[in-house]
């Protein structure tokens, strides 16, 4: 099979290109693309525990632990014992993590716009719909 026909090659190549672009644009804030995902979960109040964050981002629990540790060292988040159940740890934003919301969301929006600019609006929506289908992700809006 030709590379240009191999879905794995096409998805991997596209994902790498987008990942590199997002990484470059987030670098001045010392935030990685996956750390942005964690921050987004917290900014939207969708997840509070490491397990919830890992589930939302489709990451292994062992992977999220290291990500959260690095984010805590950067002063973006804090881990605290859940007031509702002391057996659980909750992740909360620090002031520094909260202050990054507007600039980082603007960067991600602009990156999405720039990456998709070469496609007509209906192609953009078709691509996103196809990727959601492949990933098994429903629409949350």
DSSP state string for 17-65: HHHHHHHHHHGGGT--HHHHHHHHHHHTT---SHHHHHHHHT--HHHHH
Residue 89 domain-assigned? Answer: yes
Q: What is the mean pLDDT of residues 15-36?
A: 96
Residue 40 domain-assigned? Answer: yes
- Tally of domains in the chain: 1
Kindly report the pTM of this predicted structure.
0.88
**How far apart, in whole angstroms, are the C-alpha atoms of residue 38 and residue 47?**
9
What pLDDT is stored for residue 88 in this prediction? 83
The DSSP secondary-structure symbol of 73 reads H
At 120, list the tokens: 């007509």
Cα–Cα distance list, 48 to 22, 116, 121, 127 (Å): 25, 32, 35, 31
Q: Which of 23-32, 64-73, 81-90, 127-136 has the lowest mean pLDDT?
A: 81-90
**How far apart, in whole angstroms, are the C-alpha atoms of residue 36 and residue 18?**
14
The DSSP secondary-structure symbol of 87 reads T
**How far apart, in whole angstroms, are the C-alpha atoms of residue 71 and residue 37?**
12
What pLDDT is stored for residue 112 in this prediction? 95
Q: How confident is the model at residue 48 (pLDDT cuts 50, 70, 90)?
A: confident
Of residues 138 and 130, more confidently modeled: 130
Half-sphere exposure of 61 (CA within 13 A, CB side): 4
What pLDDT is stored for residue 139 in this prediction? 65
Residue 65 domain-assigned? Answer: yes
Tell me: pLDDT of 39 over 80. Answer: yes
Residue 52 domain-assigned? Answer: yes
Residue 76 domain-assigned? Answer: yes
CATH number of residue 84's parent domain: 1.10.10.10
Q: What is the mean pLDDT of residues 93-100?
A: 97
Residue 36 domain-assigned? Answer: yes
What pLDDT is stored for residue 5 in this prediction? 84
Q: How confident is the model at residue 140 (pLDDT cuts 50, 70, 90)?
A: low
pLDDT tens, residue by residue, 112-125: 999 999 999 999 99
Residue 102 domain-assigned? Answer: yes
Q: Which residues, at least 6 apart from 99, have a Cβ–Cβ distance to it below 8 Å? A: none
Domain that holds residue 17: 3-135
Residue 140 domain-assigned? Answer: no
């Amino acid at each position: 099979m030709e590379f240009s026909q191999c879905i794995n090659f096409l998805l991997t190549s596209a994902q790498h290109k987008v990942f590199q672009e997002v990484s470059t644009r987030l670098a001045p804030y010392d935030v990685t693309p996956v750390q942005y995902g964690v921050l987004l979960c917290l900014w939207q109040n969708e997840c509070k525990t490491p397990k919830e964050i890992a589930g939302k981002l489709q990451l292994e629990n062992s992977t999220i632990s290291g990500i959260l540790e690095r984010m805590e060292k950067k002063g973006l988040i804090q881990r605290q014992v859940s007031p509702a159940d002391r057996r659980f740890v909750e992740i909360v934003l620090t002031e520094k993590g909260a202050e990054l919301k507007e600039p980082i969301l603007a960067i991600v929006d602009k990156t999405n716009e720039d990456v998709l600019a070469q496609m007509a609006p209906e192609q953009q929506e078709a691509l996103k719909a196809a990727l959601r289908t492949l990933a098994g992700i429903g629409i949350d809006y």
